[in-house]
Amino acid sequence: MRPDIAVSLALMLAGCGTTKQVPGPGPGAEYLVSCWHFGWYVCYDKARQLCPDFKVLSENEDFEGRQVRIACPVDK
């Protein structure tokens, strides 16, 4: 594979996925991270961008794709 194509593909995959803040029961922020049908690593990379010390609350995979719900720790 040509290097320019490989770099373009890597950048495209890095941009895949969406995040949405969702209400949670606790004081910390919770997010729903979607990575469609790409590998789970896309969801977890997005989660690490939001908060490096996240906690996984749930994982879901269905015909719409993959989603991970995470909680970010409360800053002290």
CATH of the domain at 16: 3.30.200
Q: Is the C-alpha dihedral spanning 58, 69, 38, 60 positive or negative?
A: positive
Quick check: is 42 in a domain?
yes
Has residue 9 got a pLDDT over 50? no
In a domain, 35, yes or no: yes
On whether residue 76 sits in a domain, the answer given is no
Instruction: Kindly report, residue by residue over 47-61, the tens digit of the pLDDT.
Output: 999 999 999 999 999
Q: What's the mean pLDDT when you consider all of the chain?
A: 81
User: Is residue 15 assigned to a domain?
Assistant: yes
Concatenating the DSSP letter of every residue in 15-59 gives: T--EEEEE--SSSS-EEEEEEETS-HHHHHHHHHHH-TT-EEEEE
Is residue 65 one of the residues assigned to a domain?
Answer: yes
Q: What is the pLDDT of residue 17?
A: 76
Residue-range definition of the domain harbouring residue 17:
3-71
The count of domains in the chain is 1
pLDDT for the residue 3: 58
DSSP state, 63? T
**Does 55 fall in a domain?**
yes
Q: What is the per-residue pLDDT for 23?
A: 86
